[in-house]
Amino acid sequence: MYAARLIHELPRRMRFRLLPPNGKRIDCDDVKACLESREGITEVRVSAVARSLTIHHDGARGRRDQVALAVARLPSPSATETSASDRHLCLKPSEEISPALSGLILLASPFLPRPLAAAITWLNIAPTLLLGARTLLDRGVKVEVLDALAVGVSAWRGEYPTANTTQFLLRLGEYLQNSTERRSEDLVKSLLLPLPTHAWVERNGTLIRTPTSAIAMGDLVEVGTGDPIPVDGEVVEGLAMVNQASLTGESLPVAKKPGDGAISGTLVTEGRIRVRAVRVGDHTVIARIGHFITDSLRAESTTQRLAARLADRRVLFTFAMGAMVFAATRDPRRMASTLLVDFACGIKISTPVAFKSAMYLGGTQGILFKGGEAIENLALADTFAFDKTGTLTSGRLEVTGTRLFDPKWDESRLLTLVASLEEHSTHPVAAAIVQEANKRALPHMRHGVVDLVVAHGLQSTMDDQPILVGSRHFLEEDSGISFQEHDAILRELTETGHMLLLVARARRPLGLIALRDHLREETVAVLRDLRALGVKRLIMLTGDHRLKATQLGEALGMDAIHYELVPGDKHHIVQQLKQAGARVALVGDGINDAPALAAADVGIAMPGGAELTRNTADIALLRDQLTAIVEARRLAMNTMELVRNNFRIALGVNGAILSAATLGALDPVATSILHNGTTLAILLNSLSGIDMSREHSHTVLGRMRGIGSHLKEWIRHADE
């Protein structure tokens, strides 16, 4: 474990000296992850260089001791070195010299004796010089080297106001960039409220306040107004209004009564309920989403990697321009101005900020993206393949009617018999029949022991007569009971899209129950909207037989219909589409969809899907509505348009600044102001401009013009 010592404390803030064991480096990412999930902690900042840990909390009673205990229990850092992609979560060494201190030095230096001003200036810029030297030795010519050369040249020439002004602007720009990047991280993490550390659990008829980690499956948990639900389960008692916005994006609380499901991480806003725990700990919805978000923050997209490579090449270009300017003019001041133009910040940092902002906005709408790669691939997808059941359709079967083959029986008696047997099964068909019987308030019918025949049906006895319920294959081919004389009725119902449950008594046909899965209300509109958003091909994948599948597919205007599929077929079809050059997005929910989701360019899992499906998908929907797919596609396209605009603006504007600096039209101070203003405008645009339409995509230019006018006014007054 870390050795931690409290070195400073305010009512809602605590600062610790953090010492990792055996001289290891502080793993900033793990420290933040361990602490930010704690109840009452609002912000965590870590500096690996200063070995400092600062924690802001809500100041609740006992919170100070809880924070101190959490810090004392921080796990040891891993043996591996923290990766470069993770280290950006730590404060950079240069942040230890704050913009405020650098600004005070800038204001004071003109009034100090020249020798003292020189000493303070060199102390002020020392972190930048040291960082530049380390970077040059470790990584070659990077932006830190350019910054060090620029301020070093000004100080070496005795231009202390210029050196201090440039240093202040560098620190201010870096501080704003890091703050913006951390803000984008915090936005994504804020999607989930931490679960309570304790909950009220019934033990031997008495409610006991129990640690959440000690709750077991089957426990009864009581949750009242203002409390988050700590487990996934079923409401068994009480009535409450529950806010599910953090998970489903629903704007209004929903009523929960006995028999309804309860989801961890949702908040009881009114009332009190008791929930029987079905999933606890890492198996809950909130825990799985937490893992999904953690993975998302670590994932990098192709665009991010391209931006990083392009930014690094631009650093070399700037360095070469500075060297050529000095060789041609022998003017160190002009060279310093040239070196201060950094393309890297606007290109490299704004791209992940844009992706994380989109991830946050998607999360508020019930759409979870697993990193920038998922956003990028969804925007580029030209082919959408849909599993039928549970995706294009609701997945919830309903009884549409019955047919009787024995005149001595009536419809209610047949439904009563089948429901009495099917209540022993958990199959969706059984659930639909039992629900219909309950709706009609039908009584229970006495019967013998029920034997479930997997994937076929069930069998039992009534009045010493055998009863069989199941598919036609089960009754005819396996049990030898012929329904041939009723073939016309069976064929008519099958062709109209019904699922049939046949019933036989005393080895003779008794009747059937017809069920149907309904098309979602929004399906047609969603398919139309996807085409409007540039999708070229829509494909339906189903295990249904040919006639039923083609009827539905043609009605929906599908470009291709694949039917009678076995589990491995969907994966094979996705691979064929990709080999033909298509960029495939697959939408599914079943376990058999998992291989195809993994093979697709981007896999989208519906909320009712299996656990394996959600783990495999690149995008997880928390709302059981197909409209979320359209929203995700539109958000992804707007994000990529924003990233492209940022590229164009960063290259164009910084290119213009670089040209002016090389021609001597800008001094180092003006160059730094314009460059940092441009970078800040791009970052702010990435953070807040995701939901803008293409017509408003030039908002960043308006922001930059406003910043530029203020900066020019500031320079004019400084010159006077």
Q: How far apart are CA 417 and CA 501, in angstroms?
A: 13
Q: To the nearest 5 percent, what fractions of the chain are helix, strand and coil?
A: 55, 20, 25
The 3-state DSSP class for residue 108 equals helix
Cα 37 to Cα 41, 195, 291, 536: the distances in Å are 8, 8, 12, 43
Q: Residues 6 or more apart from 150 whose CB is under 8 A from it?
A: 166, 336, 337, 339, 340, 668
CA-CA-CA-CA dihedral for 372, 47, 347, 582, to nearest 10:
-10
- Distance from C-alpha of 411 to C-alpha of 459, rounded to nearest angstrom: 20
- Taken as a whole, the chain contains a residue count of 720
Question: Is 618 known to be catalytic?
Answer: no
Distances, alpha carbon 65 to alpha carbons 6, 53, 111, 213, 570, in Å: 12, 16, 47, 19, 54
Alpha-carbon gap, residue 332 to 321, rounded angstroms: 13
Write out the two tokens for 638: 């707007």
Is the separation of the CB atoms in 457 and 473 below 8 Å?
Answer: no
In angstroms, the CA 515 to CA 500 distance is: 6
CA–CA separation, 359 vs 381, rounded Å? Answer: 18
CA distances from 405 to 478, 513, 572, 587, 673 (A): 20, 11, 43, 41, 87
**Partners of 57 in the β-ladder:** 41
The Cβ of residue 461 has, within 10 Å, a number of other Cβ atoms equal to: 14
* Gyration radius (Cα) of the chain, Å: 33
CB 347 within 8 A of CB 683: no
Q: Is 115 exposed, middle or buried (0-12, 13-18, 19+ CB in 10 A)?
A: exposed
Q: Which of 289, 307, 287, 290 is nearest to 355 (CA)?
A: 307
Q: How many helices (H) and strands (E) does the chain have?
A: 26, 24
Q: Is the CB of residue 507 less than 8 Å from the CB of residue 490? A: no
Tokens read off for 503: 């019933």
Phi/psi for 9 (5° steps) reads: -150, 135
CB 252 within 8 A of CB 284: no
What pairing do the DSSP bridges indicate for beta strands 232-243 and 261-262?
antiparallel
Instruction: Single out the catalytic residue among 147, 219, 232, 387.
Output: 387
CA dist 627 and 604 (Å) reads 13
Instruction: Tell me the three state secondary structure of residue 540.
Output: strand
Residues annotated as part of the active site: 387
